[in-house]
Chains A and B, each alone.
Chain A
Amino acid sequence: MITGEQKPFEEIWNMVKDFKKVLVFGCNTCVAICHAGGGKEAEILASLLRMKASEEGIAIEINHNAVERHCEPEFFQPVMEDIRTYDLILSTACGVGVNLLSENIGDIPVFPAINTEFFGAVPRAGEFTELCAGCGNCILHLTGGICPIARCSKSLLNGPCGGTNNGSCEVSPDIKCAWVLIYDRMKKLNKLDLMKEINEAKDWSKAQGPRNFKVKVLEEIKK
């Protein structure tokens, strides 16, 4: 899922304070799970902004709404007529949602209320961790299912750097050294020989945007 955290309130306030009619627009899928941008968070943010506006003596109409997803137009199309009555949409969806809505809404600005971070796992409720960076050319079969692109601070492909420190990464004791994890796993899988082979430099062209693709089967059917 996509993870994100709400921006600092002051930053959000500075974005909205010069508008007259603002919709805080939530997304009830990924960002709801990380308590950053679901309908409930949109509602809370809207009321905080209303309180701030009245404190500052500024007249802004601030409402909230949410749909299931912002990453597919069919989910926000039904409310489009209503949201076009606002002069700012403060989206609590991920950046994908902000982009897509901007493309579809016409001349109304859509601002981000959250910082979109990564796509991650939820090992425990309320905890999120990055395990894949979407590099476009997966090598997990070579690394015991542990991703060195996302999980090594330097995205190294051939083993640990000199900073590896009792299982931690040189960057922080809170980060596990991905290459120690990979080594241990490869050893257990009896695949250390594979780890001894040099991984060639990565084709980063597959990891760089703008990226898009079409599902081949569907394209064939269309033809």
Chain B
Amino acid sequence: MSSNRYFKHQGPWSDAADPLMCTDTGDWRTKRPVVDKEKCIFCGFCAIYCPIGVMVMQGDTHFEADLDFCKGCGICAKECPKGAIIMISEGEFVS
């Protein structure tokens, strides 16, 4: 019998019972969405339109991007009806 180093099964079965694969897509970002809590009306458009779904609800006040995975596409900023999100160059955050 052959080894089971990569596969538990005879055939090409992948098993999501194991931890999922994950890429640090946050590293791709050149611009970062920054939310103005005061302007935010908690409508959730940024959340539904974010392709990754990383605009996370903060209590019942506003939304904030999960920067570990946010790719910086800018959709949230573009779709926010209140202009509460601005995209700021990542360079600004390098201290």
**A is bound by B:** no
A residues lining the B interface (CB < 8 Å): none
